[in-house]
Amino acid sequence: MSGKKWILLVAGSKDWEDYQHQANVCCFYQIIKKHGIPDEQIVVMMYDDIAHNPQNPADGVITSVVDDTDVYKGVPKDYTGKDVTPENFLAALQGDDSTGKKVIKSDANDNIYVYMTGVGTEGTFQFPEKPLYPADITGAINNMSHKKKFSKMVIFMTSSYSARMLKGLSESGNAYALTACDENIQSTPSYYDEHKNIYLSDQFSSTWLKYLNTADFKTEKFRRLIESKQANYMRENPGPCPCQFGNKDIANSYLCEFLEN
């Protein structure tokens, strides 16, 4: 395809105990950088209070769930601290320059991938100071689709009760969403680090990131995450139960259509 690939990475939490969310985003960034996506097409939102946190035994380092390497170095600081808000998220997604910062400047030929990791409640995705509501995100995506601001969009959200956030996505549009949990289930943390006294990731994200780290982006499809043996935990009960919304045909897209230049 001739269009650009745009990526929006969002860690919605702050404070040391939610280390996993910023670690997920940093790890994802390093993987897609290896696949050639330039920084000008990547927007990163994270509070940025983990790497240099007083509780961090390795100052300036965030550990990867993939291979224990530092994934913090080089990560763009597009939106940090008080700028990590639902308003800025929606503006960045829709290419609204009012933020005064980097935004997604997509057109009808471009593909967009959104990864959101954070704390969810029964009806919101939490940002550090205020929540994002389902109608806000699905309304923005459906509106962008109507205005032909992208060719295809994929949204992965990992938070408790995350199905509530994206079940309003239009099935006839050109966006597809996979959520870590159904609307009644909490996200499950994974990879506990006894030295740091925190979790490095969650079950959904660690499966996804480990898969991406070795996958051939030109031959593997998004659907593989649901169908692969390594994703068997997704069908356990109780446990995270990824839910699909929007145009499910997009799950047959190759990873390279979104995550590789």
Which H or E run includes 259? helix 256-259
How would you list the strands of the sheet with 120-121, edge to edge?
A: 120-121, 124-126, 131-132
Locate 42 and state its tokens. 């990547």
Whole-prediction pTM: 0.94
The fraction of the chain above a pLDDT of 70, given in percent, is: 94
CATH fit for domain 5-259, picks 3.40.50.1460, 3.40.50.720, 3.30.470.20, 3.40.50.300: 3.40.50.1460
What local confidence, expressed as pLDDT, does residue 67 receive? Answer: 87
Which H or E run includes 189? strand 189-193
Domain ranges of the chain: 5-259
Is pLDDT of 73 > 50? Answer: yes
Which tops the pLDDT comparison, 55 or 243? 55
What local confidence, expressed as pLDDT, does residue 228 receive? Answer: 56
Give per-residue pLDDT as tens, 119-164. Answer: 999 889 999 999 999 999 999 999 999 899 999 999 999 999 898 9
Locate 118 and state its tokens. 């954070």
What local confidence, expressed as pLDDT, does residue 229 receive? Answer: 47
* Cβ atoms < 10 Å from Cβ of 112: 25
What local confidence, expressed as pLDDT, does residue 152 receive? Answer: 97
What local confidence, expressed as pLDDT, does residue 172 receive? Answer: 86
> Which range, 68-72, 159-163, 242-246, 256-260, is most confident?
256-260
What local confidence, expressed as pLDDT, does residue 182 receive? Answer: 84
